[in-house]
Chain A
Amino acid sequence: MALAVAEDLSFAYPSSEGVALRNVSVCLAPGQVTLVLGRSGSGKSTLLRAFAGLVPHFHGGRFSGRVEVADLDTRRHGPARLAGTVATLFQDPEDQVVFTRVLNEVAFGLENVGAGAHEIEARALDALASVGAEHLAGRLVTELSGGELQRICLAATLALEPKLLLLDEPTSQLDPEAAEALVELAVRLARDRGTAVLLTEQRPALPLEVCDRVLFLDRGRLVFDGPVRQARTWLQEHHPSFVSAGGAGDEHHRRAGEVACRLDRVSYAYEDHLLVLDGASLELRRGEVVALVGPNGSGKTTLARLAAGLLESLSGSIERRGRATYLSQDPGRYVFCERAVEEVAVGIGGDLTAARRTLAAVGLAGYEDRHPRDLSSGERERLALAAVLAPDPDLLVLDEPTRGVDPERKRELAGLLREDTARATLVVTHDIAFAKAVADRVVSLAPDRELVHA
């Protein structure tokens, strides 16, 4: 028997002329893990929001068809009423935190749904333990890394013991180990508690190994719905980048040129005086792409900022030749201008012709006059990339450039980064498949802050 049903569901956001979902019909069974795939802007997040009742109650817009969760029709029962039966983990953990202390944050949902006052703390602590974060219960959320915060948000959803768990790109900020743990946890919930799990991902390799069923959305239409084995064959045929290992078969043998940046035994500490980096050395040469990987909190971003000249090291030396640009993790920071083309031109003295060329290179031709805030998360990521590519830097530093970017775009991005042979490129990423696809060499920043070159 189905736990949740979407029947002939169509939806359009009020501010958009296009349709986000077109005639989608899906049944979700208890204990089933369903992976939703599709390119950026294909309607994956909207489908999750429809099951949470946020579409149409929170967003408004044109809604037709029917969605029911545990016999509750979402047209009559809003998200607050569905909370507890449904729980949602959104893409960006920083935008969903209400309280400043971890325990209060996890307890918030339980308080709202009216859990017994004396069981709230125990259930919150259990949920924290299930994501391996019980030691964080008394901490301030502002002190946590992105990965830790994501686990806290997951604990907050698990504490509700929902029948339907909606996970919207939950591993986008997690290192491979933490991502694997999260996906395994979702599968365990499905198997042990009979929770139906609906999951979207832009790093599909791992969930494809463990899910039961795959949905593929294309411009709002459900174009594939089937068991995972069948899905692999279908994806191989229609969207091979969703099942390839990223760089499989690509051998990168490029000759590296002169040194563009050399970090020699650099150390760095933030205000708490704890050393984030201690004696790290790295050489970046023109013509090569170096991927910097490592667990959450290992100091990758700090090293990238030092390389780009945004931080001064405490000790050691940094030698940089030519201009460096740096792409921040958050594409929402590239929103200074009213038009995308003007935003890209900020770093090149307002040269709109060059900005248009760069927008086209990242696949955003035709988006020149759009407001940066009106773009989807994947499109914003590409706009931000265009903004740092436009100055034609000698050293390009990219911090997590594939967050929210679909596998097909990642492949294009890898190609784009490998085109320029005069530039040194450092890519900080958790996406191992992308690292393999793009990099001439991979450098790993271990938890003890040692650099391991591979």
Chain B
Amino acid sequence: MRPAPAAALLFGLAAAALLAQHTVSVAVLALVLLVVCLRAPASRRWPYLVGALGSALALFVLTPFVERLPGTVYWTGPTIPVVGTLDVTSTELSGALFQACRLAAVSLAFAAYALWLDHDRLVQAAGFARRSVLAVALATRLVPALERDAAGLVEALRGRGVEPEGLRGRARLVSPLLAGSLERSINLAEAMEARGFGRPGSTRLPQPAWGLRERLALAGAMAAVVVGALWL
């Protein structure tokens, strides 16, 4: 499938997850997107899955402690100044599960976009706002680029006999990773400018016309938003 309708379909599913009101509906959407992500090569998918599922889990764990909703009290904790008494109720837990599923679905939709879509073709297909689409495509490549850089930095440390173990060892990588990505972005900007990026009157490689699958995907994206808003 061409990337523009595929991106629209993923956007539609993410929008449906945001609009849906039932935990089961959102969980099913998240599950479908998880299956899509799991079909990507293992070496590429793990940072996205860890990011998406990890943040959803963190949201599920933290939400009951910051919300104050009535319901069956499962646990009562200490009283903390300003915050008050910590407790976990059935309503808070179900609310946390709903929000976690929602976050997981949206994150997994982005993961599927990053893992499966041909970003080059997406940029080519952009009829307007090409610069913005290119910026998004370049930003999407940040995750795998950071992953490669981190592996290189770990190798540079191990090559000196230093094993970056534990949280502290890994934290050591953060600063060079961020500085390195800034440096790369400057080099890339220079190379793009030298190749005429931003010059008025640019043209584009011709794109083949959309087929039936592309039209169906676009219709599916719109249907997902409507169904999500009205029935899920």
**Interface residues of A, Cβ cutoff 8 Å to B:** 52, 54, 57-58, 78-81, 83-84, 86-88, 90, 92, 95-101, 104, 107-118, 120-121, 142, 156, 160, 271, 305, 308, 310, 323, 325-328, 330, 332-336, 346-347, 373, 384, 387-388, 391, 397
Once the chains bind, are B203 and A80 in contact (CB under 8 Å)?
A: no
- If the complex has contacts A96-B191, A104-B120, A117-B206, are A334 and B156 also in contact, measured as CB distance less than 8 A? yes
- If the complex has contacts A325-B161, A391-B160, are A92 and B187 also in contact, measured as CB distance less than 8 A? yes
- If the complex has contacts A310-B155, A327-B159, are A98 and B191 also in contact, measured as CB distance less than 8 A? yes
- If the complex has contacts A98-B192, A114-B203, A325-B161, are A335 and B198 also in contact, measured as CB distance less than 8 A? no
State A336–B191 Cα separation when bound (angstroms).
26
Once the chains bind, are B161 and A323 in contact (CB under 8 Å)?
A: yes
Contact residues in A for B199 (Cβ distance below 8 Å): 80-81, 83, 112-114
- Majority SS at the chain B contact face: helix
Q: Which of A97, A114, A118 has the most CB of B within 10 A?
A: A114
- If the complex has contacts A80-B198, A95-B187, A112-B199, are A347 and B160 also in contact, measured as CB distance less than 8 A? yes
State A308–B138 Cα separation when bound (angstroms).
35
| Set A86, A97, A108, A325: member contacting B159, Cβ < 8 A | A325
Once the chains bind, are B176 and A336 in contact (CB under 8 Å)?
A: yes
Contact residues in B for A97 (Cβ distance below 8 Å): 188
Mark contacts of B14-48 with chain A using CB atoms, 8 A cut-off: 1 yes-contact digit, 0 otherwise. Answer: 00000000000000000000000000000100000
The 7 closest A-B pairs by CB, nearest first: A83-B196, A347-B160, A326-B159, A112-B196, A96-B191, A95-B187, A333-B156
Q: Which of B84-92, B102-110, B177-185, B215-223 contacts A (4 or more CB under 8 A)?
A: B177-185
Q: How far is the CB of B94 from chain A (nearest CB, A)?
A: 41
Q: How large is the interface on B (under 10, 10 to 19, 20 to 34, 35 or more residues)?
A: 35 or more
| Set A84, A334, A373: member contacting B179, Cβ < 8 A | A373
- If the complex has contacts A81-B199, A112-B199, are A88 and B194 also in contact, measured as CB distance less than 8 A? yes
Q: How far is the CB of B144 from chain A (nearest CB, A)?
A: 8
| Set A78, A96, A104, A305: member contacting B187, Cβ < 8 A | A96
Once the chains bind, are A310 and B201 in contact (CB under 8 Å)?
A: no
Once the chains bind, are A373 and B118 in contact (CB under 8 Å)?
A: no
| Set B121, B141, B203: member contacting A117, Cβ < 8 A | B203
Once the chains bind, are A336 and B188 in contact (CB under 8 Å)?
A: no
State A88–B187 Cα separation when bound (angstroms).
13
Residue of A nearest to B159 (CB): A326
Contact residues in B for A323 (Cβ distance below 8 Å): 161
State A104–B125 Cα separation when bound (angstroms).
12
- If the complex has contacts A54-B194, A113-B199, are A101 and B206 also in contact, measured as CB distance less than 8 A? no
- If the complex has contacts A115-B203, A335-B179, are A99 and B120 also in contact, measured as CB distance less than 8 A? yes
Contact residues in A for B189 (Cβ distance below 8 Å): 58
- If the complex has contacts A79-B194, A333-B152, are A387 and B119 also in contact, measured as CB distance less than 8 A? no
A-B contact pairs, 23 of them (CB 8 A): A54-B190, A54-B193, A79-B196, A81-B199, A83-B193, A83-B199, A96-B188, A100-B141, A101-B118, A110-B203, A111-B202, A114-B199, A115-B203, A116-B203, A117-B205, A120-B204, A142-B144, A310-B158, A325-B160, A328-B159, A335-B179, A346-B162, A347-B160
State A336–B176 Cα separation when bound (angstroms).
6
* B168 interface contact, C-beta 8 A: no
| Set B120, B134, B152, B190: member contacting A58, Cβ < 8 A | B190
Q: How far is the CB of A391 from chain B (nearest CB, A)?
A: 6
Q: How far is the CB of B24 from chain A (nearest CB, A)?
A: 37
Contact residues in A for B205 (Cβ distance below 8 Å): 104, 107, 111, 117, 120-121
State A244–B146 Cα separation when bound (angstroms).
41
State A79–B190 Cα separation when bound (angstroms).
9
* B170 interface contact, C-beta 8 A: no
Residue of B nearest to A323 (CB): B161
Residue of B nearest to A112 (CB): B196
* B66 interface contact, C-beta 8 A: no
State A148–B120 Cα separation when bound (angstroms).
19
* B4 interface contact, C-beta 8 A: no
State A86–B194 Cα separation when bound (angstroms).
8
Q: How far is the CB of A145 from chain B (nearest CB, A)?
A: 14
B108-145 with Cβ < 8 A to chain A? 118-121, 123-124, 134, 138, 141, 144
Contact residues in A for B197 (Cβ distance below 8 Å): 80, 108, 112
Contact residues in A for B202 (Cβ distance below 8 Å): 111-114
Once the chains bind, are A98 and B119 in contact (CB under 8 Å)?
A: no
